[in-house]
């Protein structure tokens, strides 16, 4: 017999932890896109923090002031270009970051966007 555990009002008001990257990857239909975005976001956070992305690290990035976050994305773009990566690869990596930020903004976990930067970010 299954025991029903009552939910207290305070339990309903507790925010649920969200893994933004996991949620983003779940939304991608193509296994190739999921794999590429996972790799691209891992590369971005390794560049930023010498660490793979964790929910806490992602939250730290998303909570940065807009100027600081955008500056970090531009610095990452310059680093990618200095490595001699193709335009398509750079664009895909930046698209992964933009998608992560857009999802976080839609979920109320980020107050800024990279959408308006399309002409600045892409080659």
Q: Is 38 contained in some domain? A: yes
Scan for tokens 């891992």, then name that residue: 42
CA-closest candidate to residue 23, choices 47, 58, 63: 58
Q: Which two tokens stand for residue 45?
A: 């956070």
Domain holding 100, by residue range, is: 28-121
- Is residue 85 a part of any domain in this protein? yes
Q: Does some domain include residue 11?
A: no
Residue 114 lies in a domain: yes
Q: Under 8 Å CB-to-CB from 102, ≥6 apart: which residues?
A: 113, 114, 115
Inside any domain, residue 50: yes
The answer to whether the Cα torsion of 26, 23, 100, 83 is positive or negative is negative
**CB count in 10 Å sphere of residue 39:** 13
pTM: 0.82
Instruction: Report yes or no on 37 lying in a domain.
Output: yes
Helix (H, G, I), strand (E, B) or coil at 10: helix
Domain annotation covers residue 6: no
102 part of a folded domain: yes
Q: How many domains does one find in the chain?
A: 1
Ordered per-residue pLDDT tens for the chain, 123 residues = 567 766 666 655 666 668 999 999 999 999 999 999 999 999 999 999 999 999 999 999 999 999 999 999 999 999 999 999 999 999 999 999 999 999 999 999 999 998 876 545 444
């Amino acid at each position: 017999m299954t025991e029903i555990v009552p939910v207290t009002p305070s339990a309903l008001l507790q925010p649920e932890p969200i893994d933004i990257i996991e949620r983003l990857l779940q939304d991608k239909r193509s296994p190739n896109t999921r794999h590429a975005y996972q790799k691209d976001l891992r590369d971005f956070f390794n560049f930023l923090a010498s660490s793979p992305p964790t929910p806490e690290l992602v939250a730290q990035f998303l909570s940065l002031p807009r100027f600081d976050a955008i500056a970090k994305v531009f610095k990452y773009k310059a680093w990618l270009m200095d490595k001699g990566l193709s335009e398509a690869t750079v664009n895909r990596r930046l698209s992964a970051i933009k998608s992560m930020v857009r999802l976080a903004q839609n979920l109320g976990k980020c107050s800024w966007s990279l959408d308006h930067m399309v002409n600045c970010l892409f080659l």
